[in-house]
Copies of this chain bind each other. A is one copy, B any other.
């Protein structure tokens, strides 16, 4: 599969919800498959907090497979022989779109924490500009999970007429108090690293220890309890008996060490601060009468996918979206998949998701 990647520089300012303008702003994206002459075979795929535009194929010096490589490709559920998959990097993220690592034109140095807060709606606004630039008036479909799901929901609310259908995975119409708390602690972990230096670490060692701690802590929530039991149980590394020391000796500990190491060098710590803060401000009903009211004139078919035992975004919250869409007459189907993986299943256990997705996209 040919992977096309590009970064588009927009000179016209992007007006952000916080009141500041981003000018210029850049959006990096990956494209899998070709846009047809009518420009009507594009699928917009929106990535999660800890992933980027490299959704399929391999990328980076290690040839790491894309986060949805099981889903996107020739002959796969999101068939790139038929569809043109566009995956843009979110504003504030670390894949090349404007974010804290970008150069601040007023100083010529990286923004760091002087980058403005870009909300999920701001990312959606940037993506609409990208779609215009690419000549895509209307997407065949839009899809995303978690952070990507929030963006998909904002697309439905703000540009419903530009979407032929939508697949929203493990999402919610507004963040929760528990999410607010989780993100606050993850941000603290990053800022506790002396290398973070108020966010101005781009000319020195990055805060990899804080980033690793954040990734490890996050891993307690992306996978649910039962999955930890199934994968690791109380197994000792190399079959050792209790050593009565603080050295890692359980497989669950080794797994976490690996999670921490993998985060370093792959993610940008400041970006995680910005993206989690964007989620804190995500509340679609703020300033609206009802969630149905928010979805305005969106009437396209929607597939909502939850996972059993998802600690982060339970199916009940997805049901609120289903109800709101039903109330305005938009065709909606809600499915709760029973993957033991919980929240991260849409990334790590896609067997249940892919046939659903394939059928829905082709229908």
**In angstroms, how far is the closest chain B Cβ from the Cβ of A19?**
8
Per the bound structure, the CA–CA distance linking A250 and B281 in Å amounts to 10
- Chain A at the B interface: SS class: helix
Q: A228-B177, A233-B177, A234-B177 are in contact. Are A189 and B189 (CB under 8 A)?
A: yes
CB of A82 within 8 Å of the partner chain: no
Contact indicator A18/B244 (Cβ below 8 Å): yes
**With contacts A187-B246, A210-B192, A311-B225 known, is A178 near B220, CB below 8 A?**
yes
Given the known interface contacts A184-B253, A256-B181, the answer about A246 and B225 at a Cβ–Cβ threshold of 8 Å is no
Query: Does A154 interact with chain B (Cβ within 8 Å)?
Result: no
Q: Which of B209, B231, B248 contacts A192 (CB 8 A)?
A: B209
What's the Cα separation between A18 and B182 when bound, in Å? 36
How far is A317 from B219 in the complex, measured between Cα atoms in Å? Answer: 23
What is the count of identical protomers in the complex?
2
Given contacts A177-B228, A180-B250, are A234 and B283 in contact (CB under 8 A)? yes
- Across the two chains, which residue of chain B brings its CB closest to A221? B220
In the complex, what residues of B have CB within 8 A of residue A210's CB? Answer: 192
Q: Do the beta carbons of B185 and A213 come within 8 Å of each other?
A: yes
- Size category of the A interface is 35 or more
A24 at the interface (CB under 8 A from B): no
What residues on B are CB-neighbors of A19 within 8 Å? 244
CB-defined contacts of A256 to chain B, threshold 8 Å: 181, 184-185
Q: Tell me the nearest residue of chain B to A117, going by C-beta.
A: B244
Q: Contacting A253 at CB < 8 Å: which of B176, B181, B193, B260?
A: B181
Question: Are the C-beta atoms of A246 and B113 separated by less than 8 Å?
Answer: yes
B residues in contact with A220, CB < 8 Å: 178, 181-182, 185
Q: Are B185 and A228 in contact (CB under 8 A)?
A: no
A117 to B119, CA, bound (A): 47
Judge if A52 is at the interface, Cβ distance under 8 Å: no
A176 surroundings in chain B (CB, below 8 A): 225, 228-229, 234
- Beyond A174-B234, A181-B232, A189-B189, 12 additional contacts (C-beta under 8 Å) are A176-B225, A177-B234, A180-B250, A180-B253, A181-B219, A184-B248, A184-B253, A184-B256, A185-B216, A185-B256, A187-B246, A192-B209
Task: Give A contacts to B, CB under 8 Å.
Answer: 17-19, 113, 116-117, 119, 174-178, 180-182, 184-185, 187-189, 192-194, 209-210, 213, 216-217, 219-220, 225, 228-229, 231-234, 242, 244-246, 248, 250-253, 255-256, 260, 273, 277, 280-281, 283, 286, 311, 314
